[in-house]
Amino acid sequence: MRVVIVGCSRVGVMLARDLAAKGASVTVVDPRPESQHLLGRDVPVQTVVGTGIDLDVLEKAGAGEVEVFVALTDRDNLNLVSAQIAKQKFQVPKVIVRIYNPELRPFSEQLGLETYCPTVCTTDFISQQISGPGGAPSCT
Averaged pLDDT, groups of 10, the chain, 140 residues long: 96 95 96 84 90 97 97 96 97 97 93 93 88 65
CB 57 within 8 Å of CB 35: no
For residues 119 and 3, give the distance between their C-alpha atoms in angstroms, rounded to a whole number: 25
Amino acid at 86: A
pLDDT of residue 39: 85
pLDDT of residue 84: 97
Say what the pTM is. 0.91
Domain parsing of the chain, residue ranges: 2-131
pLDDT of residue 76: 97
**Class for the domain spanning 2-131:** alpha beta
For residues 73 and 77, give the distance between their C-alpha atoms in angstroms, rounded to a whole number: 9
pLDDT of residue 34: 83
In this structure, the dihedral spanned by the alpha carbons of residues 96, 100, 102 and 107, taken in order and rounded to 10 degrees, is -50
